[in-house]
Structure 1
Amino acid sequence: MTDTNADTPVQNQTTKIVVSGMTCGHCVSSVTEELKEVEGVLEVRVEDLVKGGDTDVFVESDGPLDLEAARAAVAEAGYTASV
């Protein structure tokens, strides 16, 4: 018996998270480092930092992103996130 799913390539997914309160490059580094610790996260990209406002953060993962873990990671860095 063969596993028909073994030949199916895993598709990476990108999830947009809106992070509030980042003001500088250090903030971006902190959030990025924490998000990279979430299981399955491959890459984190911050688009156009809005100092003190809402900034779009794109998280690429090897499957569905654990949104609660992502929120907790952002909170660990000292910020709030919404998806």
Structure 2
Amino acid sequence: MRSKTLEESSHSGEVKRGQVILVAYLIATLDLTFLFLQMGVMPYLAKSLGLDSVGFGYLQTTFGVLQLMGGPIFGSAT
């Protein structure tokens, strides 16, 4: 009886582990997708705003600083 419970517990742990790995891959995929979308859209946005190379640098820096400040705020909500 005891070995049967351990076996069921082990199987349950494998399922949860698989789900965690799947969610981690999903989050990494979404993160990289949106990162490359941002990298592709940012030059177009800078050009449409009429920015020169210095203005584009400021835009990139502002975006990075906002991510840096927003990470602890929104990351701690979970």
Q: Shared fold (TM-score greater than 0.5)?
A: no
Structure number, greater radius of gyration: 2
Relative to the length of structure 2, the TM-score reads 0.36
Name the structure, 1 or 2, with higher relative contact order (CA <8 Å, separation 6+).
1
Relative to the length of structure 1, the TM-score reads 0.34
Q: Higher helix proportion, which one? A: 2
